[in-house]
């Protein structure tokens, strides 16, 4: 069976997300992922999913290493892993300065080093149940220990990565990489950077799973599907400098500039209009069920080990429609 995941980033209530995960398991999805952000506590939701399912893997996509303390992340990961009977994957990332500082009041600095040290601290806590005297460049922990017995001493850690430096770190220390809004060229380019990092750490590049989050909207009316996707992409390109850079480096330099300029002057409608169909088609699975399934298969052929659809339709009905349309069975 072809590997397939699905992810939820917001718009659904926690109980609706659990319903979607139950459906995904029934339809043969390998994994379900819940984002950090404004959509509900990801670890609490995944704990509920763990109790309602038996086989599907459950992951965070991603948990920010800036907005939770590292012992808190480690405890949460161990908790979901216990409740799911060792089906948990910890997805970590640096998030974005535009979220971390104004939304959470935390200082955002040295994100790559912070992520590297976070992996080291969390792995130590999961392996040993405690950590003492850790003095890194971005993290300092004098002592912390778990007051419960761990059922698994090594939980898979996937890291969010978009550009070469971070992808090399993924190759050095992670079991997997989680990309987003990829084109059909992304898998090959990411694999080169991952291999560089893996060789530096005396690892085999094939040990690193290459996954990507694919925004997905399924509709028999392709125009309606593209229009449904456009505002969300305008938001990502306008609000997040890193995603704007990603779209520019994916071949949409003028479009990225136009969206950012419109967003900066507060013209959301103009920013949305500046997102062309070609950009949506190049970075998403969008259109009829047949078109979406063909697009997902193209990503597999391009070097993506695990496509993860991220439904962008409003409400539970739209999310479930995408899950059914793209099911691997």
Kindly report, residue by residue over 170-197, the tens digit of the pLDDT: 999 999 999 999 999 999 999 999 999 9
All structural domains of the chain with their residue ranges: 5-219+288-325, 221-284
pLDDT for residue 111 is more than 80: yes
Burial 131-155 (b: 16+ CB within 10 A, else e): beebeeebbebeebebeeebeeeeb
pLDDT for residue 313 is more than 90: no
User: CA separation (Å) from 325 to 111, 217, 220, 251?
Assistant: 37, 10, 11, 29
Percent of the chain with pLDDT over 90: 95
pLDDT for residue 314 is more than 80: no
> HSE on the CB side for 163, CA within 13 Å?
12
Query: Strand, coil or helix: what is 313?
Result: coil
User: CA separation (Å) from 278 to 12, 151, 258, 263?
Assistant: 28, 47, 15, 20
DSSP annotation string for 94-115: ---HHHHHHHH------HHHHH
> Each residue of 230-269: pLDDT tens digit?
999 999 999 999 999 999 999 999 999 999 999 999 999 9
Average pLDDT, the chain: 96
Segment 286-302 mean pLDDT: 96
How far apart are the C-alpha atoms of 34 and 15, rounded to whole Å?
A: 13
How far apart are the C-alpha atoms of 304 and 6, rounded to whole Å?
A: 14
Helix 253-264 with 222-239: angle, nearest 10 deg: 70
**What confidence score (pLDDT) does residue 235 get?**
97
- The better pLDDT of the pair 160, 315 is held by 160
- The continuous run of DSSP H or E covering 286 comes out as strand 285-287
pLDDT for residue 35 is more than 80: yes
CATH superfamily assigned to domain 5-219+288-325: Luciferase-like domain (3.20.20.30)
The residue among 11, 102, 89 whose CA lies nearest residue 311 is 11
**What confidence score (pLDDT) does residue 201 get?**
96
Going by C-beta distance under 8 Å and a sequence separation of 6 or more, which residues neighbour residue 149?
Answer: none
pLDDT for residue 67 is more than 80: yes
**What confidence score (pLDDT) does residue 39 get?**
87
**Residue 322: Cβ-neighbour burial (10 angstroms; 0-12, 13-18, 19+):** buried
**What confidence score (pLDDT) does residue 9 get?**
87
Beta-bridge partner residues of 130: 145
Please report which confidence band the pLDDT of residue 95 belongs to, taking 50, 70 and 90 as the band edges.
Answer: very high
CB–CB of 33/5 below 8 Å? yes
**What confidence score (pLDDT) does residue 329 get?**
72
C-alpha 286 chain-centroid distance: 19
């Amino acid at each position: 069976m072809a590997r397939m995941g699905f992810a939820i980033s917001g718009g659904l209530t926690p109980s609706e997300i659990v319903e979607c995960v139950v459906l995904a398991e029934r339809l043969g999805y390998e994994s379900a992922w819940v984002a950090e952000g404004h959509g509900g506590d990801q670890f609490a939701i995944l704990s509920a999913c763990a109790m309602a399912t038996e086989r599907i893997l459950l992951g965070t996509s991603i948990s920010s290493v800036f907005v939770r303390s590292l012992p808190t992340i480690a405890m949460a990961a161990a908790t979901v892993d216990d409740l799911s009977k060792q089906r948990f994957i910890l997805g970590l990332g640096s998030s974005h300065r535009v979220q971390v500082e104004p939304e959470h009041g935390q200082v955002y600095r040295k994100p790559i080093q912070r992520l590297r040290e976070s992996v080291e601290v969390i792995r130590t806590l999961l392996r040993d149940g405690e950590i003492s005297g850790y003095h890194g460049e971005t993290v300092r922990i004098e002592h912390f220990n778990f007051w419960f017995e761990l059922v698994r001493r090594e939980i898979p850690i996937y890291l969010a990565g978009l550009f070469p430096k971070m992808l090399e770190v993924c190759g050095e220390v992670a079991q997997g990489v989680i990309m987003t809004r990829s084109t059909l060229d992304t898998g090959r380019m990411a694999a080169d950077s991952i291999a560089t990092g893996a060789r530096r750490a005396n690892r085999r590049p094939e040990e690193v799973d290459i996954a990507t989050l694919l925004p997905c909207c399924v509709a028999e009316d392709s125009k309606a599907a593209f229009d449904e996707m456009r505002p969300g992409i305008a938001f990502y390109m306008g609000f997040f400098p890193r995603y704007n850079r990603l779209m520019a480096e994916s071949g949409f330099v003028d479009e990225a500039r136009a969206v950012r300029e419109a967003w900066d002057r507060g013209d959301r409608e103009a920013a949305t209009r500046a997102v062309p169909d070609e950009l949506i088609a190049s970075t998403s699975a969008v259109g009829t069920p047949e078109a979406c399934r063909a697009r997902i298969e193209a990503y597999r052929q391009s070097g993506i080990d695990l496509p993860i659809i991220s439904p962008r339709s409003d409400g539970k009905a739209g999310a479930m429609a995408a899950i059914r349309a793209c099911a691997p069975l």
